[in-house]
């Protein structure tokens, strides 16, 4: 968690305490929900990046692949009409081939919303737009799941570690 995120978490907790002391239970409940959702978002995004990073490390050790990893913690990307604010991790295989994983959520009202979930992610193979996958982080009975949203259809399937492994394999092919 970045210093900014830690400070934001502390400010939300203090605002929730003040709202409850002032008798604004509704505001306190909203802020508690917001904090809970932010924690779930961070956990889901951390899992996504840790999975790709670990698999890239395994590929480097097993195949002597020269994958490099770059990280940008102040990344913004668009999903539909909304702007996601979060992190981008780029895995590079040589000079041209790259796999970009971006994940985040809207932070300010002007950024928009995430419809049907908590956060969004985009997995993009440089130069191969047909391999791009859009993900939605959902919470189902206290369990977080990344769901692949197939564009222009209602098809959905869970994004698992094996899905990430497939993307690493495509990058190295």
Looking at residue 86, its pLDDT comes to 96
Query: Rounded distance, CA 118 to CA 116, Å?
Result: 7
Looking at residue 52, its pLDDT comes to 97
The token pair at 158 is 């869970």
Contact between 28 and 63 under an 8 Å Cβ cutoff? The reply is no
- Sheet-wide strand order for 128-140: 67-79, 82-93, 97-105, 119-125, 128-140, 143-149, 156-159
Helix (H, G, I), strand (E, B) or coil at 149: strand
**pLDDT tens-place string over residues 49-86:** 999 999 999 998 887 668 999 999 999 999 999 999 99
pTM for this one? 0.83
**Low-confidence residues in the chain, pLDDT < 70:** 1-5, 8, 12, 25, 64-65
Selection from 83, 54, 51, 57 nearest residue 159 by Cα? 51
The token pair at 68 is 């490099």
Looking at residue 15, its pLDDT comes to 74
Q: Which residue has the tokens 């670990």?
A: 54
Selection from 32, 35, 61, 39 nearest residue 137 by Cα? 39
Count Cα atoms within 13 angstroms, Cβ side, for 42. 13
Helix (H, G, I), strand (E, B) or coil at 61: helix
Residue 137: which residues within 8 A CB-CB, separation 6 or more? 40, 41, 44, 45, 103, 117, 118, 119, 120, 121, 144, 145, 146, 147
Looking at residue 29, its pLDDT comes to 75
């Amino acid at each position: 968690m970045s210093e900014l995120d830690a400070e934001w978490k502390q400010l939300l907790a203090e605002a929730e305490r003040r709202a409850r002391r002032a008798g604004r239970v509704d505001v306190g409940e909203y802020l508690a929900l917001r904090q809970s959702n932010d924690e779930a978002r961070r956990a889901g995004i951390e899992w996504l990046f840790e999975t790709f990073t670990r698999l890239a490390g395994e590929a480097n050790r097993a195949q002597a692949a020269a994958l490099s990893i770059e990280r940008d913690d102040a990344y913004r990307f668009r999903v539909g009409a909304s702007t996601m604010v979060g992190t981008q991790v780029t895995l590079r295989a040589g000079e041209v081939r790259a796999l970009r994983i971006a994940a985040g959520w809207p932070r300010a009202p002007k950024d928009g919303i995430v419809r049907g979930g908590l956060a969004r992610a985009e997995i993009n193979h440089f130069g191969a737009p047909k391999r791009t996958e859009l993900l939605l982080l959902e919470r189902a009975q206290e369990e977080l799941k990344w769901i692949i949203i197939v564009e222009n259809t209602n098809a959905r399937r869970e994004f698992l570690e094996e899905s990430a492994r497939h993307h690493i394999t495509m990058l190295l092919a």
